[in-house]
Chain A
Amino acid sequence: ETGVTQSPTHLIKTRGQQVTLRCSSQSGHNTVSWYQQALGQGPQFIFQYYREEENGRGNFPPRFSGLQFPNYSSELNVNALELDDSALYLCASSLSRGGAYNEQFFGPGTRLTVL
């Protein structure tokens, strides 16, 4: 069973550009969540996808968007990059069975630097 993988590992962009980050969920998982972790801070929830539909969103502007594919892999897209978007972006997958608790398994993250 493979764990959660993310690509790329590191990325450097300039202000105003667009970026796409990718996540492969753990086998059998149908839910993916994305978090932004700024340097020295805890992760902040961006949004979650369940069976290809957005299922909750944190306090992030619309230029942060996502997709989940039929194989439950996912993308995070950020448009019009700003310097403050520099962070570690974490993806977490889980198997939602309808109960309240579903353990989330985190990937190693993508480190995005915006210059």
Chain B
Amino acid sequence: GEDVEQSLFLSVREGDSSVINCTYTDSSSTYLYWYKQEPGAGLQLLTYIFSNMDMKQDQRLTVLLNKKDKHLSLRIADTQTGDSAIYFCAESGPRGGYNKLIFGAGTRLAVHP
């Protein structure tokens, strides 16, 4: 079945790196995404990775994909207080439809001085 799981909470010190982890069950997942949600706001796409890639870097963000273990991670370098938000992992693929995003429950990232 469709399932995406994430740890619920992460606390880091400003300037440190944050690593948010996600596992998924659908082996046919083709696209894997990271979204950010700030209070009172909708979801903002941070980055996505295609399933034939194992790494993608975009400025402070690094996404690692281990397709064998169905494990996805998001690393935020030099974490700032503005990074405090809820981060959602999501996937889509041929089984559910590419435009149907399956989300995890979200990881709340708290950045403290």
Contacts and interface: CB of A to CB of B under 8 A. Distances in A.
Interface of A: 4, 31, 33, 35, 40-45, 48, 55-56, 58, 90, 92, 94, 96, 100-109
B58 to A, nearest CB: 14
Interface in B1-60: 4, 30-31, 35, 40-45, 48, 50
Q: How large is the interface on B (under 10, 10 to 19, 20 to 34, 35 or more residues)?
A: 20 to 34
The listed residue with most B CB atoms (<10 A of its CB), out of A58, A100, A103, is A100
B44 A45 contact: no
Contacts, number: 61
Contact of A45 (B40, B45, B102): B102
A108 B42 contact: yes
Contacts of B100: 33, 45, 48, 56, 58
A44 B105 CA distance: 10
